[in-house]
Amino acid sequence: MAEKYRVTYVEDDGKAHTVEVAEGWSLMEGAVKHLIPGIDADCGGACACATCQVYVAPEWQAKLPPKSEMEDTMLDFAPDTKPTSRLSCQLRMSAALDGIVLHLPKSQH
């Protein structure tokens, strides 16, 4: 079994869910697996729909891999983006991200 690490997803209304996500899984998959409301992920992680946007808490920004050009442009056109926006399907769980906090937008559409 892959190692599991903690992720906290915070809904738009402030409700927080701390769950464990297996190493190598995307943070989108972690949300879907634990039925976190607010992540639609229509395309299932193919970076094709931009419906898995999250806002990454500032202290975690530096630990993330840089955005690919595809992710960057998909985000350009997603609703309610902020400088801290990422597509959670492009972020892989790892020991370095143990404890990461992600805030969810009000809507993905």
Scanning 12-106, the segments in alpha helix (DSSP H) are 27-33, 58-61, 69-76
Q: How far is the CB of 73 from another protein (least distance, A)?
A: 4
Q: How many CB atoms lie within 10 A of CB 60?
A: 17
Q: How far is the CB of 75 from another protein (least distance, A)?
A: 9
Residues engaged in binding another protein (CB under 8 A) = 25, 29, 32-35, 42-44, 46-50, 69-70, 73-74, 76-77
Which three-class secondary structure state does DSSP give residue 7?
Answer: strand
Q: How far is the CB of 11 from another protein (least distance, A)?
A: 15
What are the backbone angles phi and psi of residue 36, rounded to the nearest 5°?
-75, 120
Q: Can you name the residues that pair with 7 across neighbouring β-strands?
A: 19, 100
Element (H, E) at 87: strand 85-87
> Looking at beta carbons only, is 35 or 95 nearer to another protein?
35
> Looking at beta carbons only, is 11 or 57 nearer to another protein?
11
> Looking at beta carbons only, is 46 or 62 nearer to another protein?
46
Q: From CA 80, how far away is CA 95, in angstroms rounded? A: 29
> Looking at beta carbons only, is 43 or 57 nearer to another protein?
43
Q: How far is the CB of 17 from another protein (least distance, A)?
A: 14
